[in-house]
Structure 1
């Protein structure tokens, strides 16, 4: 059995959808014999996790499965194993670094930990 990290993408639609498009990208761990089976399992996860409910404003909110955008094999499950990476360029490095520190501070406060 092999392990994969699948990026499953959902679109979140509130009411009639007259709002800034919103997407949820979820990284899911998938166990499968091969890449084809892992992809099929990830697609099934996406379809099964679609949801529709009413929010506090009495609007219908949909989590609509879009697709499996990435599938990456995981060589081994060990403490500290890299499961996913994303290299991208930013227009403002300083702003990105500040944003990263801000997100870390929020996590640290929630977990009462330090990094």
Structure 2
């Protein structure tokens, strides 16, 4: 059996969907015999990953499956192995880096507040 990194793409829709589009790209690891089997398995699982829920406004929030945009075999699953890489050529570098820094700050806050067991 082999490991595969599968990139799923979903659109998050809240209520009637009258909000800015939200796209969720997810990388999930699957075990399959070959890339063809990984593709079939990924398709079969795509709609099973997310349950809709009600947000604080009482609106239904759901993930609408759009597509599988990539399947890559992971040659060696070990500490530090690469499972995904994306090269960006942003039209607006400053806006892109502002977004990266917002995510970095959010992650730092989350990590600092993780309880030590």
Q: Normalising by structure 2, what TM-score?
A: 0.81
Query: Where in structure 2 are there 5+ consecutive unaligned residues?
Result: 113-117
> What do you get for the CA RMSD once the two structures are aligned?
1.9
Q: Is 2:78 aligned against 1:111?
A: no
- Structure 1 pair 78–104 and aligned structure 2 pair: CA distance change class (3 A): same
Q: How does 1:1-115 map to 2 (within 5 A)?
A: 1-93=1-93, 96-97=96-97, 99-112=99-112
Secondary structure (helix, strand or coil) at the match of 1:70 reads strand
The total of aligned residue pairs comes to 112
Task: Structure 1: give runs of 5+ residues left out of the alignment.
Answer: none
C-alpha spacing 1:107/1:45, structure 2 compared with 1 (3 Å): same
Alpha-carbon separation, structure 1, partners of 2:98 and 2:11: 28
Q: What TM-score comes out, normalization by structure 1 length?
A: 0.82
